Amino acid sequence: MTGICEGRVAIVTGAGRGLGREHALELARQGAKVVVNDLGTSLGGDGASRGPGAEVVEIIRANGGEAFSNGADIADFAQAEALIAEAVETFGRLDILVNNAGFVRDRMLVNAEESEWDAVIRVHLKGHFAPLRHAAAYWRSEAKNGRMPVARVINTSSGAGLQGSVGQAAYAAAKGGIASLTLVAAGELARYGVTVNAIAPSARTRMTEGAFAEKMAAPADGFDRMDPANVSPLVAWLASPGSHAVTGRVIEIEGGRICVEEGWRHGPARDAGRRWRAEEVGDVLAELIAESVSPEPIYGA
């Protein structure tokens, strides 16, 4: 297999199904050697199975590519470290980390259980941090030893984390955290030859079939905008050496539409040159809010 990622080594987490599966297959089509990480849990994060990941590996190998499966729990710090080490030991290097794994336990805020919150934050937010932290340590070591990486990290945020989503407090908080983590990592890792970006995909997966049922209908024009495979070419390009000038970005993609998100940035301001009096604040904020851009409505509002 040849392509824009020829000879590169990639880890894709949550690669047994949905978006992760398509990312792994596309990276392999583009010439990458792929570590297919998948714990094989249910939609709610229960159980485990090596079957989905092994199936993806079989497809890649049948098409002439190189891959192996890994069943690490990427939110477990030690298992995430072992995942990075196994990739390097097996393929001799690591160039690409695609953080994709996750599940949902949607609940209105007033009904949310502590265990549900903890589980979602763990798999999404810590599940991004742990592999990223260990991959970053590897790339820093490479750079310090005179082997400057051309490394790429692609994280997975969501419109729920950027604009908010009713009934998804934990998921939205985790995905918003991933967007912020992306900015920090991009700033810190540039010196080691690493770019860090995030995608905010909209596609048909186990996590979205219930939330966006109206989008899942058969397309009248024949273009299935919700096919998860639509997202993966963007991931492959971000994983390639040619994306060196793009870092610290969050990019939304749905079907054939790509949108660069514009996140928090300084807007209108007033400086009194002294401490504000409490009775003054209301009028000042009213003026500033009138001058600012209104937030987009949250999903489901």
Distance of alpha carbon 27 from alpha carbon 50, whole angstroms? 20
pTM for the model stands at 0.92
Is a pLDDT exceeding 80 seen at residue 114?
yes
The whole-number pLDDT of residue 106 equals 92
> Residue 48: what pLDDT?
56
Residue with tokens 């993806």: 56
pLDDT in tens, 239-282: 999 999 999 999 999 999 999 999 999 999 999 999 999 999 99
Amino acid 291: pLDDT: 97
Confidence (pLDDT) at 222: 86
Where is pLDDT greater, at 214 or 250? Answer: 250
Rounded mean pLDDT of 175-186?
98
The CATH code belonging to domain 9-260 is: 3.40.50.720
Give CA separation, 82 vs 22, 51, 78, 130, 212, in Å. 24, 20, 6, 11, 36
Structure-block tokens of residue 96: 């690409």
Mean pLDDT of 86-107: 96
DSSP 11: E
Domain extents in the chain: 9-260
For 26-53, how does the pLDDT look when each residue is reduced to its tens digit (9 = 90+)?
A: 999 999 999 999 987 655 556 556 789 9
The mean pLDDT of 120-144, rounded to a whole number, is 98
Alpha carbon distance 6, 1 (integer Å): 8
Q: How far apart are CA 228 and CA 22, in angstroms?
A: 7
Supply 40's token pair: 């094989």
Report d(CA 16, CA 60) in Å as an integer: 12
Between the alpha carbon of residue 58 and those of residues 4, 19, 36, 260, 262, the distances in Å are: 22, 17, 11, 35, 39
Write down the residue that tokens 């997975």 correspond to: 156
Q: What is the pLDDT of residue 40?
A: 74
Kindly state the tokens that stand for 141: 């070591």
Could you tell me the pLDDT band of residue 220, with boundaries at 50, 70 and 90?
A: confident
> Do 226 and 251 form a contact (C-beta atoms < 8 A)?
no
The per-residue pLDDT for 301 is: 84
**Pairing, β 96-98 against β 9-13:** parallel
Q: Note the Cα 27 to chain centre separation in Å.
A: 15
Q: How confident is the model at residue 128 (pLDDT cuts 50, 70, 90)?
A: very high
DSSP class of residue 68?
A: E
Type and span of the H or E element at 82: helix 77-91
Averaged pLDDT, 94-110:
95
| 34-66 burial: b if 16+ Cβ within 10 Å, else e | bbbbbbbbeeebeeeeeebbbbbbeebeeeebb
| Mean of pLDDT values over 90-117 | 96
pLDDT at position 41 is 63
Give backbone dihedrals phi and psi of 281, rounded to 5 degrees, phi first: -65, -40
Confidence of residue 150 (pLDDT cuts 50, 70, 90): very high
Q: Which residues contact 160 (CB under 8 A, 6 or more apart)?
A: 168, 171, 172, 175, 299
Q: Residue 156 in 3-state DSSP?
A: strand
pLDDT in the model for residue 217: 61
CA distances in angstroms from 169 to 130, 172, 208, listed in the order given: 22, 5, 15
pLDDT of the residue at 207:
57
What's the token pair of residue 165? 């989503």
Question: Which amino acid makes up residue 222?
Answer: G
Q: Name the CA dihedral angle for 286, 290, 295, 296, rounded to a multiple of 10 degrees.
A: 140
Residues with catalytic roles: 158, 171, 175
* Nearest Cα to Cα of residue 18 among 259, 172, 207: 207
Mean pLDDT, the chain, rounded, equals: 93
Residue 214 pLDDT exceeds 70: no
**Which of 89, 85, 17, 88 minimizes the C-alpha distance to 50?**
17
